[in-house]
Every structure is written in structure tokens, then in C-alpha cells.
Structure 1
Amino acid sequence: MPTPLYVLEDVARPCDDVRQKEFTEKVKDIGIVLYDGFSLLAAGMLAEALHIANELQSESSANPFKYRVNLISARGGTVSCSSSMSVLTEQPSAREIDRFDTLFVAGGSGVARASADSDLIELLRRLCAKSVTITAIGNGHMLLSAAGVRQCDRHSMMHDIYAGMSTPTVPEHDPDQALMSSLALLKKDLGSELAVRVADCVGSGAAGSLAGDFQDRYATTLAEKVCSSARWLVQNCAKPISVVDAARMASMSERNFVRLFKREIGVTPSRYLLRARLDLTCKLLVSSELPVDKIARSTGLSNGERLSKLFRKEFSMSPTEFRTNSRRNE
């Protein structure tokens, strides 16, 4: 019986032309370096996470972005994993090496034998010479050591993922490391919110636990960003700012910012900004002799007419009546 051929989703075939990157959508080529005896579970976890990210991105035509996973080996053709299943790989030419943005080196039971493969070691050196970001999964670091490659990129990309998480150390199992490495890449490229959505789609077990850690960590980060933006709205309410400006300061889309702000603060950011402006207006009415129209302009409320309408709606009195009543009660 012939050895089964296992094909991962969203994997570019060896015959793919580099010119395929010239799509209307942005394409980012990801390479996974394989060899006989690699861990299929880890490689599959990487490919699955990026496949899910592609699907989530396709839901919004406003931000087209696609990862293209390339399975790479020293000689191309079929490569057998540690469980004896085979996958189809490509041997990138010197011209094609330039297209890879990020590289993952799989771990597995065959890593010691692969470390002695001069063709594979030379391929890694050529890939590294192109300054791609390289991350080893599991004992894949042995291959990088054999090639004389330092993992500076891996440390910097993974730092934000593990910092502050309930999991105190790097996950021990290859699939778990693959998951967290893919989430780190997604967070860097597309933001923590999409990375959390991908984590939410991952199955149960140890991987699900790690995904939960990631979600908890970045749910906290998003809440902190929203609270920070609320303070920014108060501090700048007298200026001609808008919700769009606040969303930009928080590095979020306006839609997501409004949703998260309302969830964390209890009101929409536009309502929060209005309250801040009215609060500042009340203070100026009591503490100064400035005319209502000037106060309105200096607190971001346009003019006296608009301010008067807002006051009657919010306080059932005019700004002048508010000033008089407040001073009388002092």
C-alpha cells in the first residue's frame, strides 16, 4: 500500500509562481521548514491557525490580507512526518527565497538526523541571509544551531505573548508552541483582537487552555486601552476631537472601539465625550464671567445655541439659569 499523502489547507504548491503575490489582496508568504521525521501536529497547528485567520479576514473586504503557507524542504517532493504520513513540499529557488516573510522550523523525532543534512543546513543559512523572521518549534532550534542562526527574532516576537500570562513558561509540547507562535505572528500583523478570535476557534485540550490564557491577557490589554482612551477624551474634550480620533489613538477601528468602550465604560464614547464637555462647561459657568457663546466654543460645543439646547435637554434649564442657581447655592 502506498504511503498516504497528507495535504494541509492553504498550502502553496511547488509550481506556484512568485508573481501570484500580485493580487488585489495583500499576500504574506509563510514558510514551514520540514524534513523526514518532523512533527505533523505542530505543522498542522501552524497552518490551521493561519487558515482560520484567512477566513476571518475574508469576512471584511475593507482589509484584505491573506497568509500563504509554503511547506519547504531541502530537496522538495514528499517528506515523511514522525507518524509516517507524507506531505508535499517545495525546494525554493534562489529567486523564490526572497518572497518569504516569516519562517518556522518544525521540531520532531528526526531533527538530529536532519541537523546532519548539509543541504538542509545550507537552505536555512540562505533563508536567514535574507533577514526573514525565524522561529523554531520544539527541538527545531537544533537545526538553527547547526546552521549557526541565532533566534533573536523569535524572542522579540514571543515576548508580548508570554508576558503576564498564567502559563509561567514556554509550552513544552510542539503543537502548543506552534499555536502560540502563530498567535504572536497574528497579533503583530493584524492586532490582538483578531489573534484572540483565532484563539477562540482553536479546539479544546492543552491548546485550548493556552488560547484561553491568550484571550485573558489581551482582554485585559483591550480594557486598559479603553480606559486610557476615556481619560484621553476627558483631557482633550475642549479640543475639536471626535470618536474617530479616540479610536485612532487606541489603534482600533471605530466600530470595535465603540463596541468595546460601551462594554467597559457603560456608555458610548460619543456620550462620554459629551458628558466631559458638559462637565467642563458647568465648571466654567460657575467659576468665570465668560459669555455662554464663548464658553461653548472653548469646550467643543460649537456655539451658544447648541449649548442652550443641550442644557435644556440634560438639566431642564438654560446655561444662564444654571450659572445663577449654582452661585446662589454656594
Structure 2
Amino acid sequence: MSNSSDALDAVACAAHGAYAVKDSAVIKHVGIILYDGFSLLAAGMLAEALHVANELQSEGASHSLTYRVNLVSARGGTVSCSSSMSVWTEQLAGRHFDSLDNLFVAGGSGVARASADDGLIDLLRRVSAKSVKITAIGNGHMLLSAAGVGQREWPSMKQDIHPRPTTDILPEYERDQALMTSLALLKRDLGADLAVRVADRLGSGADLSLAGTLEQMYDATLAEKARASARWLVRNCAKPISVVDAARMSSMSERNFLRLFKREIGVTPSKYLLRARLDLTCKLLESSDLPVDKIARRTGLSNGERLSKLFRKEFSMSPTEYRARSRQKR
């Protein structure tokens, strides 16, 4: 979101339903409530982030959720942003009101004046009473305070950038706060990996105040990828799988996968897979009378000769000796 024109395009597209994508299993209806003097950059960034999430999902094999974004206001019609550009809004009533899943309250220079709008304040109270998830962007929290919708009454998502106690908010801050708000929603709905991909597309213009948060999100996503691949290796260790297969399951190149896995798990994927296969072998030796050669085939270790070599290297004894010793301890 580099300028007001881009923001206006994003908001206008949302208003006219241009963000619709192919049908998916779940449709989430999202409203962005506007008023005269709202922040165009913040509303545009939020709408664009949800649009990008729709696009990224449509490019993949599965598309689990579609966001439908509507720009709404207390009375509908034309609303002017803080930079005097105008957008068309729908009145938050009827079917839009009943189908709403999330409502975002935009911030902006006009928030103090909007806080004195009885119609808007009453609308926020009625939305809150319906248990719709309401989230303020920037100084939009002033509207919630005016409506008596307190922190404990509305299920806010975790905010990574907290509102400043003033109505004068820099455009860059509004944009970045809207980005982090949208990423929090995407992370909760679709997982950290999708949120990171959206951040990749939109976050390049973010200032240094976002760097730490985005880095944490990347690190958390990569760490979870490594843990998930480790679990996959254990579940499938009896099959003829390889490290290349694990890298493919993680949607990573083999080189990057090897580096990530070693960093997060502490050993190489091949070593981890071998340990999983040897653990399974020990369990079968302890609990069954299967021949060593058959156990080797059942644990992905090819044959009895290879299993015996690996066993002597790791445990300094043969599989048969291990079986005998384990039964002596019973």
C-alpha cells in the first residue's frame, strides 16, 4: 500500500465485490465500518490483505475460506476519508448485519467527531450485543470506548502494535497497524504460513516498527514447519521415504529444509529418520518374535544385514542380543 490512490483502489474494489473468488467451503463476511474522516490507508490495507489471502488460497490445491469484504457505515452512501476522497458504503443493516462475522472499526482524523454520532454509537452497541468479533484499527478504539464496548466485552485479536493515546496518528502507523491486525486474523483463521505469505506480498513497505513482529512470525512458522516434518518422519518411518520426500511435504527446497531442520530439531533429517526407525525396531524386537529380516522390512531398513550393522553401530550389540536383554529385564 504505497499511496492514497492504491488505497482507494483497494477500498473501492472491496465495496463493489471485486474481491470475490471461486466458491469455497466457508465464506466469512467482514465489514469495515467507515465514517467521514476515516483513514483510507488503514482501510485499504486491511481490504487488500484479505484479498491477497483469497488469491493465495485460490492458487493452491485447497481453498478453505473466502473473505467477503463490505465497506459499511451507519447510514450508507458516500463517506469521505481524511484526505477528502470519497467511497461508497452500504448501510450496516438487514442481511449484512445478520451475516456479519467480523467488524473492523477504522481509525482516522475524524474519530472524535464520529464518537459523537449517536447513530454510529448505537450501531456499534447492537453489533456487540450480537457477539460479532469487533476489532479497532489505530485510534478506532475511541469509537468503541464511546459505545461502552470495553476491552473485556469484545473478543479482540492480539494486537502487535498498540494504539497511541492520541487522535493524531501518522499514516505509516495506520497502514502498519492495519497490516498487523489483518495478519492476526489470517493467522487465526488460516494458519501462520498463509499469514506469512500475505506479509511477503504486502509487508515490504512496512517500517522498522514491524520488523521484529514480522521476523517473529516468520520464525514461528518455520519452527512449526520443522516440528511438523519431524512428526511426519516418525509417522511414516516404516515406509520407504526419504529426506527429499520430507522437504517436498514442507514445500521447501532440500537445501533449505536440511538447514531449517538441523537448526530447529538439532539433528539432520536423515539422522532423525534413522532414530525413528531404530526406535520402532526396538519396540518390535521387544514385543514380537518376528525374524530380524522381517522387522527390517517393516521398519524401512531394507534387510536384516543392514539392520544388524546399524544396530551394532548405534547400540554395540546385535538385534538378537538386544531382544534377549530386553526380555531378561521383564
User: Common fold, TM-score beyond 0.5?
Assistant: yes
Q: Which residue matches 1:293? A: 291
Q: Which residue matches 2:218? A: 219
Q: Which residue matches 1:166? A: none
State the distance in 2 between where 1:256 and 1:233 align.
10
The 1:54–1:283 alpha-carbon spacing in structure 2 relative to 1, beyond 3 Å, is closer
State the distance in 2 between where 1:9 and 1:270 align.
52
State the shift of 1:201 in Å: 1.3
- State the Cα deviation string for residues 213-269 of structure 1 (Å, max 9, x = none): 3332133323443565577679xx5xxx337xxxxxxxxx98237768644225886
State the shift of 1:156 in Å: 5.1
| Partner AA of 2:250 in structure 1 | N
Report whether the alignment pairs 1:11 with 2:14: yes
Secondary structure of 1:63's match? coil
Q: Which residue matches 1:65? A: 65
State the distance in 1 between where 2:287 and 2:22 align.
64
Determine if contact 2:128/2:149 at 8 Å carries over to the other structure: yes
The 1:211–1:326 alpha-carbon spacing in structure 2 relative to 1, beyond 3 Å, is farther
- State the Cα deviation string for residues 274-312 of structure 1 (Å, max 9, x = none): 443236647998xx8986627965xx9527994426438
Q: CA RMSD in A?
A: 4.4
Determine if contact 1:103/1:132 at 8 Å carries over to the other structure: yes
Q: Which residue matches 2:194? A: 194
Report whether the alignment pairs 1:94 with 2:94: yes
Determine if contact 1:10/1:69 at 8 Å carries over to the other structure: no
Secondary structure of 1:70's match? strand
State the distance in 2 between where 1:113 and 1:13 align.
27
State the distance in 2 between where 1:131 and 1:185 align.
17
State the distance in 1 between where 2:70 and 2:95 align.
15
- State the Cα deviation string for residues 126-169 of structure 1 (Å, max 9, x = none): 2112111111112211111111112347775216xx4xxxxxx6
State the shift of 1:89 in Å: 0.4
Q: How does 1:139-218 map to 2 (within 5 A)?
A: 139-152=139-152, 157-158=157-158, 162=160, 170=162, 172=164, 173-205=173-205, 207-218=206-217
* Pairs aligned (count): 291
Report whether the alignment pairs 1:256 with 2:250: yes
State the shift of 1:87 in Å: 0.6
State the shift of 1:108 in Å: 1.0
State the distance in 1 between where 2:287 and 2:70 align.
70
Q: Which residue matches 1:323? A: 318
Q: Which residue matches 1:311? A: 307
The 1:23–1:227 alpha-carbon spacing in structure 2 relative to 1, beyond 3 Å, is closer
- Segments of structure 1 that go 5 or more residues without pairing to the other structure are 163-168, 244-252
State the shift of 1:211 in Å: 4.9
Determine if contact 1:31/1:100 at 8 Å carries over to the other structure: yes
Structure 1, 148-157 or 61-70: larger mean CA deviation: 148-157
State the distance in 1 between where 2:144 and 2:299 align.
66
Determine if contact 1:10/1:68 at 8 Å carries over to the other structure: no
The 1:92–1:324 alpha-carbon spacing in structure 2 relative to 1, beyond 3 Å, is closer
State the shift of 1:63 in Å: 2.3
State the distance in 1 between where 2:77 and 2:124 align.
17
- Segments of structure 2 that go 5 or more residues without pairing to the other structure are 165-172, 238-246, 323-330
| Partner AA of 1:215 in structure 2 | L
The 1:116–1:140 alpha-carbon spacing in structure 2 relative to 1, beyond 3 Å, is same
| Partner AA of 2:122 in structure 1 | E
Q: Which residue matches 1:248? A: none
State the shift of 1:67 in Å: 1.2
Q: Which residue matches 2:125? A: 125
Q: Which residue matches 1:250? A: none
Secondary structure of 2:94's match? coil
State the shift of 1:60 in Å: 1.3
| Partner AA of 1:277 in structure 2 | R
Structure 1, 49-58 or 177-186: larger mean CA deviation: 49-58
Determine if contact 1:133/1:153 at 8 Å carries over to the other structure: no
Secondary structure of 1:273's match? helix
Q: TM-score, normalised by structure 1?
A: 0.71
State the shift of 1:30 in Å: 0.9
| Partner AA of 1:91 in structure 2 | Q
| Partner AA of 2:212 in structure 1 | D
